[in-house]
Amino acid sequence: MCSFCRMTISEKRYAAELVDRDGNLFKFDDIGCMLRFVRDRNLEGKAAAHFVVDYEQRDWLNGERAYYVKSEAIHSPMGGGLVAFRDRAKAEACAANLGGKVLSFDDLSNP
């Protein structure tokens, strides 16, 4: 279950995880849920690691190194409208296709 909204994590391509400095693992059904969880708990800069799933390849990658696409056309489980990619060119192609914007992890962390 998602640590923020409590929904079942059913669509892996939108999933995210956070490991805090105490080694606790938090799972999310939507990248937006992870971001809201971090903000609500004042965890900005306090996480040991963030992980997200590559939207196309559906494998885990380091969230700080991922490229994100934000678009209203992305219908993620909780409406975060975000997907992640390992490859910037793939993120740019997705953004162009969906009328979205490519963002870095820092862009997401500092709205």
Instruction: Locate 36 and state its tokens.
Output: 């809201």
Q: How far is CA 95 from CA 9, 66, 70, 104, 110, in A?
A: 24, 14, 7, 13, 20
Confidence class of residue 111 from pLDDT cuts 50, 70 and 90? low
In the chain, what percentage of residues exceed pLDDT 70? 98
For the whole prediction, is pTM greater than 0.85? yes
Q: What are the DSSP calls for 54-98, one per residue? A: BTTT--EEETTT-EEEE-TT---TTS--EEEESSHHHHHHHHHHH
Q: Nearest 5°: phi and psi at 81?
A: 65, 30
pLDDT per residue as tens digits for the range 37-82: 999 998 888 889 999 999 999 999 999 999 999 999 999 998 889 9
The predicted structure's pLDDT at residue 71: 96
Q: Mean of the per-residue pLDDT values for the chain?
A: 94
